[in-house]
A and B are shown apart, each in its own frame.
Chain A
Amino acid sequence: MTERFAGPTTVEAALAILASDAAARPVAGGTDLVVAARQGRKSLPESIVAIDRIAGLDHHAVVDGALVLGSLTSHEWIADSAEVRSTWSALADASSIVGSPATRATGTIGGNLMNASPAADTTAPLVSLGANVMLRAMGRGSRIVPVASLALAPGRTAAAADELLTTVIVPPPPPGSGSAYIRLEYRRAMEIAVVGAAVLITLASNGSIAGAVIALTSVAPTIVRAPEAEAALVGEAANAATFRVAAEAAAAAARPIDDVRASADYRRAMLVVVVARTLAAAAARARGESIPIPASRWAPGREV
């Protein structure tokens, strides 16, 4: 049961509470925290630090080509941002399908990452785009952690209890690249990915694949890379046959479970479809073709 509640307005005040109260946990939009408590998965923290009024965490800018987002940046802002949509499309694909309009208005990128769900929609895009986060604690300053190594297990991160995620930094994507995120879903709202994939693909001037980063959602205890699939793409022609081979190789990185949303077998089978489709969408964007956001709503042609 929650005994203490604080609503600091500065990062410093929030860090001081996190440093002095071992039970204190930050909450931003609350869209995950309260639902988890209601479902009995994790009771509400004994001490809550509501960080949603900290003006210093609600910034967003492009700095030297990198996208710099305060941890309170909402999914709604990301989904609406013309710059994110055109340059970091996979992230816009993800934020535009998180929850419902209400979830997107309230839910934040920092919360999505720190909740450390293996089904978190923004994590795989951020991993594929090579993003880092800044964690800050009182008396220890800030440290940079790659998004790829932030989550350790479902609901558990590399952040210490007194550290606050302050900033997400997404580097500029390489020239000739395109990115996409697609998830398999049932209802199109208040959904949790059955499986999902994020791709950053870079094409050489002759149209062949110079490199790719693939991250998978909901097929392992954390978001995972698919190195076998990435290796299968390098130097190949960017076409449906190549994407199919790589998508089948992606299954090597998957360790799916059976749960209420799908069986492990179904997840494995659908992962191949979703990875192939995401590769096609990202490659099309790399070629300058228009793929709608969210790419999950895109109906590819028969060639995929």
Chain B
Amino acid sequence: MPELLQLTVNGLPLSAMIEPGRTLLRVLRDDLGRTGTKEGCDDSECGACMVLVDGRPVNSCSYLALQASGREITTVEGLASADALHPLQRAFLEGGGIQCGFCTPGMLISAAALIARDPDPSDEAIRDGLAGNLCRCTGYQPIVAAVRRAAAEMRGDPV
């Protein structure tokens, strides 16, 4: 039996009638049109589907959409403001932290979650924070550098 799902995505209240076994990833992409969140492995291995649920990182491929009912979801589309990219997005772009780009939404969300917990992460903490995200272009060094730089900018340190 379809159930009514009501949730907030990037500040916008949205709703859909969905079958109870569907995942948050599929509902975000197929029902709510938020395709920034990617399906990589669909198996919680790669992190391309990462979103924030009430501020906490979640593999949306392995999270039942109805469990997100009433909660605040942040997807990659929610990082930028109306007129400027998020510091993480800018650092990824300017530092070459993007190759094919498929892992990028998940990397950005995991990095945002990490910086929220630890505003001044060491390189090791950055690697741990992104350990659930795979980049098949293997561009990890510039990704780590971009997170380091964005964290510094967000702290107000000179970069």
Query: Which residues on A are within 8 Å of B, measured CB to CB?
Result: 1-5, 7, 27, 30-31, 34-35, 37-39, 44, 48, 50, 52, 99-103, 105-106, 187-190
Contact = CB atoms under 8 A, between A and B. Distances in A.
Given A34-B64, A50-B64, A50-B66, A103 B132 contact: yes
Interface string B113-132: 11000000000000011011
Contact of A50 (B1, B56, B67, B129): B67
Contacts of A190: 44-45, 131-132
Closest 6 pairs (CB-CB, A-B) = A100-B132, A189-B131, A2-B21, A5-B20, A102-B57, A105-B56
B62 A35 contact: yes
Contacts of B63: 30, 34, 106
Given A3-B20, A101-B57, A38 B43 contact: yes
Per DSSP, are chain B's interface residues mostly helix, strand or loop, or mixed?
A: mixed
A54 to B, nearest CB: 13
Contacts of B43: 35, 38-39
Q: Give the interface centre of A48, A102, A103, A105 by most chain B CB atoms within 10 Å.
A: A102
Contacts of A52: 67
A285 B3 CA distance: 52
A39 B58 CA distance: 19
A190 B62 CA distance: 13
B75 interface: no
Contacts of B61: 34, 38
A102 B67 contact: no
B62 A7 contact: no
Nearest to B57: A102
B101 to A, nearest CB: 20
A188 B62 CA distance: 20
Contact of A34 (B23, B53, B56): B23
Given A101-B113, A101-B132, 10 more contacts: A1-B19, A34-B63, A52-B67, A99-B44, A99-B132, A100-B133, A101-B57, A102-B56, A102-B59, A106-B58
Nearest to B1: A3
Interface in B37-69: 42-45, 47, 50, 53, 56-59, 61-64, 66-67, 69
B4 to A, nearest CB: 11
Contacts of A103: 44, 59, 132
A48 B64 contact: yes
A67 B61 CA distance: 33
A30 B128 CA distance: 22
B132 A38 contact: no
Contacts of B67: 7, 27, 30, 50, 52
